[in-house]
Amino acid sequence: MPSLPARAERKWYYLGLRHLRMSQRLLRSGFADGAVFHAYHGFECLLSAVIAARGYPVPPEGWTTLLLPSGASVQAYPAPEGMIRDFNAHKARLALFDQLADPTNAYYDAYDHLRTFLTYRDRLDSLYYEANQNQLPEDRYSLAFGEALLPALTRFAREVRTEVP
């Protein structure tokens, strides 16, 4: 008998945990840059788990076409406080999470800090060579940074768990 499809929030939550485990393994092997790359994705997946738990599709899923007063049509995501324009899926997730999250829950404080410095730029810098300034991913992230980031994200994951039945 085939198993029922996993609920979307669980899928995102466990994908987030999987990224954090990969991050941990890479850190143990000395690859701080790879660890930060997976930590970044773990953070995104945990945000997505909360979005899905509140019944919203996770960007880039769920966009619809919105007709502007100017007559132009754009892609946008439905959100509690109006449509979110589809300029950037990462930022759309942050904006949607921000509207759906419970600011009194413990996870909000961690989110509020992490979103200011765990940026899309980190996703790029942890993966690619920055040719303009001759900076390799391993120049950018130290093991000490990864060793401190991961517990913060693991704590965030524990706190987000309350949203994922």
Partner 1 sequence: MRFCMGRGCMTGYVEMANTALPHQSSEAHEQEQAPPLRVDREGFALLRDRLRAANAANPQFDLQYKRLVALLKTAFRRLESEFGDLIELVVADGDWARYGIDLRNLPFDEVVLLIVVRGSERPFSLYWEIADRVFTKLDDKDVLLQFGLATKEEWDAGSAYARQCGVSEALGIPLLARAG
Q: Which residues of this chain interact with partner 1, rule CB under 8 A?
A: 84-85, 87-88, 91-92, 94-95, 112-117, 119-122, 124, 127-139, 142, 144-145, 148-149, 152
Separation CA 78–CA 154 (nearest Å): 30
Indicate the residue among 88 and 162 with the shorter CB distance to partner 1.
88
Side chain identity, residue 19: H
Token couple for 20: 């954090």
- 102 vs 139 by CB, closer to partner 1: 139
Minimum CB distance to partner 1, residue 36 (Å): 10
Smallest separation (angstroms) from partner 1 to the CB of 33:
9
Phi-psi region of 77 (alpha: psi -120 to 50; beta: other; left: phi over 0): beta
Q: Hey, how many other C-beta atoms are within 10 angstroms of the C-beta on 63?
A: 19
Q: How far is the CB of 149 from partner 1 (least distance, A)?
A: 6
Residue 26 vs 114, nearer CB to partner 1: 114
Q: What are phi and psi of 131, to 5 degrees?
A: -75, -30
Contact yes or no for 57/66 (Cβ under 8 A): no
Residue number, 13 or 56, with CB nearest to partner 1: 56
